[in-house]
C-alpha cells in the first residue's frame, strides 16, 4: 500500500473515530459503567431526537413547546424528562451548545462577532455577547483577540 495514497489521512481519521465510538459503546454497556448524562439522553428515542435537532439546527428559534412537539410529548413532560436525562433544562442546554459552537467559530480566521452571533441564532450582537460572557466567562471579542494572537505567534 502506498503511504501517500490520496485520501489516506481521511480514511485513517474515520477509522480512529469508528474505533473510539466502538470502544466507548462497549465501555458504557458494562453493568458497572457510569456513562455521562448526555450519553443516556441520546439513547432515549424522544429526547435523543430533540437533542439531534438542537445539534443540527442550533440557530433555529427553538422553544420548549416546539421541541416537545418535535418529540411528540407535552411541554411539561418533555421539560422534566429532558432535564432529568441531560442534567439541565432544554433552553439552558441550547444556550450552552450555541456558545460552544460560537467559541469554535470565533477561533476561525476572519471570524466576526456579528456573523458568529447570527450563525448560532442571535440576531442581536449585544444579547449574544452577554450570553457568551455569562456562559463562557469571557467576551467574544476577548476570545477573538486571543485567537488572532495565537495565530500570529510563532
State whether 29 and 48 are in the same domain. Answer: no
Q: Is residue 110 one of the residues assigned to a domain?
A: yes
State whether 100 and 134 are in the same domain. Answer: yes
What is the tens place of the pLDDT at every residue in 43-86? 899 999 999 999 999 999 999 999 999 999 999 999 999 999 99
pTM attached to this predicted model = 0.78
Q: Which domain holds residue 87?
A: 44-149
pLDDT for res 2:
60
State whether 63 and 129 are in the same domain. Answer: yes
Q: What is the number of structural domains in the chain?
A: 2
State whether 50 and 120 are in the same domain. Answer: yes
State whether 98 and 125 are in the same domain. Answer: yes
Q: Is residue 38 one of the residues assigned to a domain?
A: no
State whether 25 and 65 are in the same domain. Answer: no
State whether 96 and 143 are in the same domain. Answer: yes
State whether 141 and 75 are in the same domain. Answer: yes
pLDDT for res 1:
52
State whether 69 and 123 are in the same domain. Answer: yes
Higher pLDDT, 88 or 26: 88
Q: Is the dihedral of CA 51, 67, 90, 134 positive or negative?
A: positive
Q: What is the CATH number of the domain that holds 82?
A: 1.10.10.60
Is residue 3 predicted with pLDDT exceeding 90? no
State whether 79 and 133 are in the same domain. Answer: yes
pLDDT for res 129:
96
DSSP state letters, 71-126: HTS-HHHHHHHHHHHHSS-HHHHHHHHHHHHHHHHHTSTT--HHHHHHHTT-S-HH
Euclidean distance between CA atoms 28 and 74, whole angstroms:
30
Q: Is residue 2 one of the residues assigned to a domain?
A: no
Amino acid at each position: 500500500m502506498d503511504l501517500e495514497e490520496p485520501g489516506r489521512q481521511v480514511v485513517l481519521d474515520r477509522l480512529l473515530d469508528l474505533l473510539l465510538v466502538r470502544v466507548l459503546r462497549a465501555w458504557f454497556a458494562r453493568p458497572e459503567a457510569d456513562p455521562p448524562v448526555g450519553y443516556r439522553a441520546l439513547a432515549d428515542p424522544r429526547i435523543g431526537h430533540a437533542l439531534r435537532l438542537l445539534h443540527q439546527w442550533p440557530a433555529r428559534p427553538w422553544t420548549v413547546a416546539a421541541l416537545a412537539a418535535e418529540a411528540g410529548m407535552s411541554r411539561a413532560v418533555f421539560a422534566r424528562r429532558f432535564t432529568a436525562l441531560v442534567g439541565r433544562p432544554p433552553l439552558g442546554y441550547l444556550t450552552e451548545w450555541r456558545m460552544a459552537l460560537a467559541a469554535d467559530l470565533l477561533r476561525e480566521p476572519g471570524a466576526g462577532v456579528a456573523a458568529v452571533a447570527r450563525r448560532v441564532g442571535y440576531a442581536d450582537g449585544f444579547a449574544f455577547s452577554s450570553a457568551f460572557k455569562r456562559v463562557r466567562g469571557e467576551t467574544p471579542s476577548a476570545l477573538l483577540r486571543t485567537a488572532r494572537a495565537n495565530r500570529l505567534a510563532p
